[in-house]
Each structure stands twice: as C-alpha cells, then as structure tokens.
C-alpha cells in the first residue's frame, strides 16, 4: 500500500506566488507549506498559526501549496474559522482516548465540530463492544486520557489514499462503519480519485479536515458534557450508538464563561418554566410532540397572534382558513412530498372513490393557499394578493428530536403567501423584511444576523429552471443591499423551490435561533399553472413569496420563555397585576381595587388566601407577575396602593387611578420599563 503524503514533489515550474491579505506578494519554491509562509512573515505568527485559508478554502497549516498564484490567509485562534478546527481536532483526540481506554474493538463513526450549537462543541458516535458501556461517570476518565494525548503533542498528518486502499486500511483496523462511508462517497462521486485520512499516532480516521498541526495545540480548555444514544445515520431502524458530547475553546476563561451560560440556560428551560407557570402541557397520553396550551400560555399566544393579525390587516393581508387534511396529490404537485415523505404522518384513505393517493395531515399550507388564489380569475390590477393564516400543520419528527415547544409534531405557522407580478416582487420582499424586523423589535430581539440561503449548484434537490433561480437570488440580494443589511450567503440552505432570507436571532444569553423566514418562489406558480391577466390582456405567471415572521408560535413562544426567563413584558404577561391584601380586614378594599383594574381591561388576580403578606409577595414573584398592589390600613385610609415590581421591588405608593393608567400606558406601548412613582 502506497501512502501519498500531502506535501507534493517539486513541479517543473518550481515556483509558488503567495498574495497576503495586505496585498503584498511572496515568491517561494514549489512545495512550500502554509506554515513556511507564516514563518516568512514572523516567528510569532508561525507559532500561533493553526490553519490557513488558501484561495478561499480552509487547509491544514502543513498543507503544501501547488505551483502558481494563491491568496493565503494564516488562521490563528483570533479568527472565526479557528474554533471549528479546534473542535474537530478535539473530536479526534476524544476518539483516540476512547480507543485507548476501551480497546480496539470499539468502532468510531462520525465526529463533527458543532459551531452553532449553544451547548456542545463536538461529538463522536461509537459502537462499543457488548461488554462496555459509557456513562457520564466515565467522562472524567476520558478527559484525563485526552489530557495525556494533548501532552504527547502528536502530529496530525493528512494522507490521501485511493478508495480501495482506504477501505483496506479501515478493514485492517476493524472499522466497518468507515468502509461503509467510503462506499457511500464512491456512489456520490463517480470517479472518486482519493479519500483523505488523518493519522494521529496509532489512531487513523477518514476525514476531510483540516486539523490542528498537533494534539498539543488543543490545550486544556475542553470538557466532556454528556452521553446520549444516537441511531446510526439517524435512522431508528439502525443500531443505537453511544454519542459523547464535548466542548472546547482556546482559553479557559472562555470555557468557564460558556459553562456559566449553560447553567443559566438550565434555569431558563422553557419546559421547566412551562410547568411552573402553567403555560403548556406535553402529555404522552395525547401523543409526543403534541402540546396542549393551558390558560396562561393561551393568553400569551392569543396576545401575540392578535397583535400580529392587526398588523397584517393594516398591511393589506387577507385572512383565510384551510383544513387540517387534504389530498396527497396536492403535495405531489407542489413537490413537497418527495422531500418530506419520511417526515410525514401516514396517508389516509377516507372513503371509496376519493382517489388512490388518499389524504394527508397537512405538513404545510402552501398548496391550499395556491388553490384559493386559483379559484378566481386574477387581473394585474388585483395583484399583489396577500393571503395569511395561522395554520396548524403536522410533521412526524423522530421521537429523539422532539424538544418541548421548539421541536414538535403539531404546530402552527404564522404563514402567508403573496402572489405578485415580477415588477412588484422586490417591494413585497422589502415589506416582508420590514414586518419581520417589527416583530423582533417589539419583543426586544434586536441582536440578529441575516442569512441568505442559496441553492447548491451541485445538488439535485432543487426544482425549477436555472434562470428562475438566478432571478430569485438576485431579487433577494437587491433588497438586502438596498436596505443596507449585513448578510451572509450560504449555498445549500435554500428551500427546494427557491432562495430565502432567514433571520438568525441571538437571545439574552447568546444562543442563536433561526426565526423569521422569507422565501422567493418562481417555481410553484409554474407547477400549479398559476396565471393573471396582464395589461397586454395576455396570461402571465405570478411570483410567490412564502413568509413567516415568527416561524411558528409554538417555537417562538418557547424561545421567548427562555429569553425572558418566564418574566414576560406586561402586554404578554398572563397575569399583569396581583392585588395582595395585608390581612382579611382589608379584603373588601382589595376587591374594589381588583374590580377597578379588571374593568379597565387588565388581567388581574386577587390573592385572598389567609397567608401572611410576605408569602403572598413571594408567590406572586415566583409566578413572574409584573406588578403587585399591596393594600393595608394606610392604603385604605389614603385610597392608594403600595406598588411592587417583580424585579425592581418596592416602587412606593400611588393612587389607584395613577396605577391603573400607568399599567394601561405600559401595556399599550408594549414596553418593559417599570412604572415610575412621583416623589
């Protein structure tokens, strides 16, 4: 077997020209590595170098540069790309540690870096021998072995093998999953010439890389977090593997801060707060992933949806309602069915003669809105047509992927579909962006980035004509550029029918969530043969926009619970004020306060229990009620209330009218600034 080292022999030209980010150029002999380039800039940079960007692609710092001209950027721990390299290497170090501790009969499968996962930074899936099991109690032992490997400063060497040689190498070390993965690569890439593997001492893994130059660069800022089960390839028909999660940073302070954020996230877990505050219920008797909204949660949802419905009416949207089921052929025509088939509830045949395809619990609303558009003839004067619906949809998510309200099987989409002329399209996209920004700003979610999801030209999953895709992608770019928005483009993230704008929102503890989405679609109007009569009196094809500024109320509210730690702003709070009499003697006065606030349209609660006032205040505070009106003898005599805020504490005394008007003003403004009491 012949190993082909990544460092090439000298070519006949014997020359490499390197252009650096500052515009300067360097000339090197053929076969120069990125590390040598770094050494030529400064020894300090070479010592800090962990990888290199060569012509826009991330490479190992020890990678040799081909003859010719190259743009080269040396990557250090300060660069955004560095964390992925670090964590990918941490996964390999962990895998070697597991093999050292549990023997060579352990098989390893996949071990990626995780960059956008709030809690974890990497994982590896293992098929352990029957006599071996790993639990969280074993993680310190694995960490200790990882520390030994770090101390050994083992070089990570990239090697390129032919597919046959790579399979032979994996067979020799008993790694059957890797052999299967190489076979898959051959099927996906006809004419595959080589497979890259990384050698780390006695540990060899099939991997694209890049990696740190040696294990010593991993340092000491890593921690193994948890152990979980994971099916091979995510298919519950396959074998259950053992997944070990970990996280790694370049600095121990960063690791400590990350662990603190995780502890804070546990306190904010919407599943725990949902039970404590009586917001929603997940009942296995009803079915996994099918949430039941309790009264308090229903109020939050009602307020949020009611506000958004009002905004939609102002913006010219027309409300519609559609059924929960429809003929499967609708989703075959739209093209959704082949992409979602394995994530849908089974089809139903309701009666003889209803069609051989049967019926489907709707996974999305698009085909129904299309049928509504098509139900009457449209002129260019009728466009744009904006149809909106809070439509319930159903997707059969795998049980292991379900998570509270953020990943469910039955959920609502704050859905709308806009049908417009090509000339109207960019103005409609801009309006959708404005609505999404308004939704986020109203909830105080002002820290977000914009991601444009484009098609992957090499993928076959996308439908429609290439020229339609080009137009749609350019339409989106024009809008975000016109609005001066900072954005990134991500090939492969488009919907199968068109490109999209996603708003990726960061919450108050730094976690990122994908919320609002706007998708441009030239293709479904063709598949459903939609038309409008243009000014020239001939039929033309409209363009569609799919948009959902919240995404789904379930997921959005789950995120809001954690963002606010259950302490919703006044306008969303299920109970906006609690009236707390000091004792039974003042109950009649408290009842009058309660009635006056209730009649003013505020959601108010009276605590008439015999408990002491301290217990009543603690209870209202634990329930995250924004305001408390404490009443006793002094307040009854002066016809006032002693006001407390759930976080600000005692705000002093004020008249009932001032308290009521202040609450109504804060509610109307949808603000979160506590009432002010005049001195």
Average pLDDT (633-659) is 94
Report pLDDT for 19. 86
Report pLDDT for 397. 87
Where is pLDDT greater, at 533 or 354? 533
When pLDDT is cut at 50, 70 and 90, the band that residue 1 belongs to is very low
Q: Over 80: is that where the pLDDT of 676 sits? A: no
Instruction: Calculate helix-pair angle for 295-314, 553-563, nearest 10 degrees.
Output: 110
Give the residue among 455, 460, 465 at the shortest CA–CA distance from 493: 455
Report pLDDT for 288. 94
**Cα angle: 103, vertex 104, 105; to 5 degrees:** 95
Q: Is residue 570 within 8 Å of 444, Cβ to Cβ?
A: no
Residues designated as active site:
366, 395, 413, 415, 417, 500, 546
Q: Over 90: is that where the pLDDT of 342 sits? A: no
Q: Over 60: is that where the pLDDT of 444 sits? A: yes
Helix (H, G, I), strand (E, B) or coil at 61: coil
Instruction: Calculate helix-pair angle for 587-599, 656-669, nearest 10 degrees.
Output: 40
Proportion of the chain above pLDDT 90, given as a percent = 75
Average pLDDT (4-29) is 69
Please state, rounded to an integer, the average pLDDT across all residues of the chain: 91
Q: Which fold has domain 298-321+382-563?
A: BirA Bifunctional Protein; domain 2 (3.30.930)
Report pLDDT for 149. 97
235-251 residue pLDDT tens: 778 999 999 999 999 99
Report pLDDT for 672. 67
CATH 3.40.228.10 is held by the domain 4-75: no
Strand boundaries in 621-666, DSSP class E: 627-631, 640-645, 649-655
d(CA 487, CA 485): 6
Average pLDDT (197-222) is 94
148-164 residue pLDDT tens: 999 999 999 999 999 99
36-51 residue pLDDT tens: 999 888 999 999 999 9
Q: Rounded to the nearest 5°, which phi and psi values hold at 19?
A: -105, 125
Q: Rounded to the nearest 5°, which phi and psi values hold at 544?
A: -110, 145
When pLDDT is cut at 50, 70 and 90, the band that residue 190 belongs to is confident
Q: Over 80: is that where the pLDDT of 610 sits? A: yes
Q: Which CATH architecture fits 82-264?
A: 2-Layer Sandwich (3.30)
Distance spanning both ends of the chain, measured CA to CA: 87
Report pLDDT for 3. 38
Q: Over 50: is that where the pLDDT of 663 sits? A: yes
Average pLDDT (1-15) is 46
Average pLDDT (579-602) is 96
Report pLDDT for 347. 84
Report pLDDT for 354. 54
Give the torsion sign (CA, 407, 410, 414, 419): positive
pTM over 0.85: no
Q: What CA dihedral angle connects 401, 402, 405 and 411, to 10 degrees?
A: 100
Report pLDDT for 352. 56
When pLDDT is cut at 50, 70 and 90, the band that residue 4 belongs to is very low
Helix (H, G, I), strand (E, B) or coil at 82: helix
Report pLDDT for 564. 94
Report pLDDT for 573. 97
Residues 6+ apart with CB under 8 A from 393: 362, 363, 364, 365, 410, 411, 412, 413
Q: Over 80: is that where the pLDDT of 677 sits? A: no
CA 49 to chain CA mean position, Å: 31
Q: Over 50: is that where the pLDDT of 449 sits? A: yes
Give the residue among 196, 215, 194, 193 at the shortest CA–CA distance from 204: 196
Q: Rounded to the nearest 5°, which phi and psi values hold at 334?
A: -65, -25
Q: Over 80: is that where the pLDDT of 351 sits? A: no
d(CA 121, CA 335): 35
DSSP 349-412: --STTS-TT-EEE-S-SHHHHHHHHHTS--BGGGPPEEEEEEEEEE----GGG-BTTTB-SEEE
Domains 4-75 and 298-321+382-563 share a fold: no
Q: What's the half-sphere exposure (Cβ side, CA atoms, 13 Å) at 59?
A: 22
CATH 3.40.50.800 is held by the domain 577-669: yes
When pLDDT is cut at 50, 70 and 90, the band that residue 608 belongs to is very high
DSSP 547-567: EESSS-HHHHHHHHHHHTTT-
Q: Over 80: is that where the pLDDT of 459 sits? A: no
Strand boundaries in 32-121, DSSP class E: 51-54, 57-60, 68-75, 107-108
Average pLDDT (101-118) is 89
d(CA 545, CA 634): 61
Average pLDDT (395-424) is 92
Residues 6+ apart with CB under 8 A from 47: none
Q: Over 90: is that where the pLDDT of 30 sits? A: no
Report pLDDT for 350. 64
d(CA 92, CA 529): 52
419-437 residue pLDDT tens: 999 999 999 999 999 999 9
Report pLDDT for 94. 97
The 8-class DSSP code of residue 251 comes to: S
Q: Over 70: is that where the pLDDT of 10 sits? A: no
Question: What is each CA distance from 522 to 496, 525, 530, 538, in whole angstroms?
Answer: 11, 6, 11, 19
Helices (H), 496-632: 524-527, 553-563, 587-599, 613-622
Report pLDDT for 594. 97
Average pLDDT (186-206) is 90
Q: Which residues pair with 348 in a beta bridge?
A: 359
Which region among 69-78, 377-386, 652-661 has the lowest average model confidence (pLDDT)?
69-78
Delimit the domains of the chain by residue range.
4-75, 82-264, 298-321+382-563, 577-669
């Amino acid at each position: 077997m012949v190993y082909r080292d990544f460092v090439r022999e000298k070519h006949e030209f014997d020359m490499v020209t390197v252009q650096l980010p500052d515009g300067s150029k360097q000339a090197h002999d053929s076969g120069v590595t990125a590390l040598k380039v770094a050494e030529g800039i400064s020894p300090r940079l070479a010592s800090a170098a962990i990888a290199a960007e060569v012509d826009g692609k991330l490479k190992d710092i020890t990678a040799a540069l081909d003859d010719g001209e190259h743009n080269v950027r040396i990557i250090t721990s300060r660069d955004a790309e560095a964390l992925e390299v670090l964590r990918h290497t941490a996964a390999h170090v962990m895998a070697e540690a597991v093999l050292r501790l549990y023997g060579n009969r352990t098989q390893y499968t996949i071990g990626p870096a995780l960059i956008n996962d709030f809690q974890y930074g990497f994982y590896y899936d293992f098929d352990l021998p029957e006599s071996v099991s790993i639990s969280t109690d074993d993680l310190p032992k694995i960490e200790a072995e990882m520390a030994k490997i770090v101390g050994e400063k083992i070089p990570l060497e990239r090697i390129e093998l032919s597919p046959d040689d790579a399979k032979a190498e994996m067979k020799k070390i008993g790694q059957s999953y890797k052999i299967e993965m190489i076979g898959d690569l051959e099927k996906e890439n006809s004419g595959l010439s080589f497979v890259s593997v990384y050698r780390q001492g006695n540990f060899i893994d099939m991997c694209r890389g890049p990696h740190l130059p040696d294990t010593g660069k991993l340092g000491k800022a890593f921690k193994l977090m948890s152990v979980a089960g994971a099916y091979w390839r995510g298919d519950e028909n396959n074998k259950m593997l053992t997944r070990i999660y970990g996280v790694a940073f370049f600095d121990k302070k960063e690791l400590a801060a990350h662990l603190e954020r995780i502890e804070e996230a546990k306190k904010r877990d919407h599943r725990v707060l949902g039970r404590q505050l009586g917001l929603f219920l997940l009942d296995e008797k009803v079915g996994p992933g099918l949430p039941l909204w309790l009264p308090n949660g229903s109020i939050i949802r009602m307020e949020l949806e009611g506000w958004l419905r009002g905004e939609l009416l102002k913006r010219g949207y027309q409300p519609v309602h559609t059924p929960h089921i429809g003929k499967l052929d609708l989703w075959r025509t739209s093209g959704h069915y082949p992409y979602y088939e394995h994530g849908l509830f089974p089809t139903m045949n309701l009666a003889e003669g209803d069609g051989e395809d049967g019926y489907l619990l709707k996974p999305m609303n698009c085909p129904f809105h299309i049928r509504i558009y098509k139900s009457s003839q449209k002129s260019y004067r009728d466009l744009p047509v904006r149809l909106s619906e809070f439509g319930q949809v159903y997707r059969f998510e795998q049980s292991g992927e379900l998570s509270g309200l953020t990943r469910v099987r039955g959920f609502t989409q704050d859905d709308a579909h806009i049908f417009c002329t090509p000339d109207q399209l960019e103005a409609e996209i801009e309006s959708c962006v404005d609505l999404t920004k308004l939704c986020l700003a109203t909830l105080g979610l002002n820290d977000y980035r914009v991601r444009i999801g484009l098609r992957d030209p090499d993928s076959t999953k996308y439908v429609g004509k290439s020229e339609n895709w080009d137009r749609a992608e350019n339409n989106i770019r024009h809008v975000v550029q016109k609005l001066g928005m900072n954005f990134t483009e991500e090939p492969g993230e488009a919907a199968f029918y068109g490109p999209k704008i996603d708003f990726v929102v960061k919450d108050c503890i730094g976690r990122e969530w994908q919320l609002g989405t706007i998708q441009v679609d030239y293709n479904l109007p063709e598949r459903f043969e939609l038309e409008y009569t243009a000014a020239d009196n001939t039929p033309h094809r409209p363009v569609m926009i799919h948009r959902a500024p919240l995404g789904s109320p379930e997921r959005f509210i789950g995120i809001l619970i954690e963002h606010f730690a259950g302490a919703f702003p006044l306008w969303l709070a299920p109970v906006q004020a609690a009236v707390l009499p000091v004792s039974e003697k003042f109950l009649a006065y408290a009842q009058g306060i309660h009635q006056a606030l209730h009649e003013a349209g505020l959601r108010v609660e009276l605590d008439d229990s015999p408990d002491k006032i301290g217990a009543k205040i603690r209870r209202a505070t634990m329930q995250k009620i924004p305001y408390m009106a404490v009443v006793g003898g002094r307040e009854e005599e002066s016809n006032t209330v002693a006001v407390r805020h759930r976080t600000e504490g005692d705000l002093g005394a004020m008249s009932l009218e001032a308290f009521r008007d202040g609450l109504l003003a804060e509610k109307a403004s949808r603000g979160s600034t506590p009432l002010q009491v005049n001195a």
